[in-house]
Amino acid sequence: MNEQRKIRVSKKLARHLRHEPARIGLTLDPGGWVPVETLLAALAAHGFRLSRAELDEVVRTNDKRRFAFDETGTRIRASQGHSVEVDLALPTAEPPDALYHGTVARFLPAILAEGLRPMNRHAVHLSATIETALKVGARRGASVLLRIDARAMAAAGHEFQVSANGVWLTAAVPPGFLQQAEPT
């Protein structure tokens, strides 16, 4: 499968496994899972034919591991980033001393005043690496790096989870735990 097709498939999966399952007649279970055959049939019924082999390739080769199969390989879900109600059942995890978030300058005043909020998602997404945070922020323009004092947040009672693809999740980041940082 060529790269352009992979991107198109990934975007289609993200839309329907994270944000709009009902748009193609899908119902996610409480953990966000849907049977693979149901997903493929729903996509085909809405004009987007996708083979199981193509689906397997997109899940296997996605650089951000956005999607995962269950242990039987018969169900699929998005790893995180849902705007629809799901419970990924991720255990609480002890974060590293610092986590990072990439954004753009136009959002910086509001973030510094109000902190990071999940907006239309269920959790704030953070990265363990500066490189990943800058890459995420660059999707909307020149990236600005924020450093989160995750150790202090955890000590203050804030909980963290880490998704299957390494994205750190928390309910919100109050402004006192973040600061603008320079990439090193």
97 CB neighbour count, 10 Å cutoff = 11
Q: What is the pLDDT of residue 87?
A: 86
Residue 60 — very low, low, confident or very high, per pLDDT cuts 50/70/90? very high
Domain annotation covers residue 83: no
Residue-wise pLDDT for 82-125, tens only, equals 888 888 888 999 999 999 999 999 999 999 999 999 888 788 99
- Answer yes or no: do 109 and 55 share one domain: no
Q: For residue 24, give its domain range.
A: 3-78
62 has a pLDDT exceeding 90: no
User: Do 74 and 102 reside in the same domain of the chain?
Assistant: no
The pLDDT of residue 180: 93
The per-residue pLDDT for range 2-35, each reduced to its tens digit, is 999 999 999 999 999 999 999 999 999 999 999 9
Contact 171, 159 (CB under 8 A): yes
- 111 and 48 both lie in a single domain: no
In a domain, 89, yes or no: no
pLDDT in tens, 128-146: 999 999 988 888 888 899 9
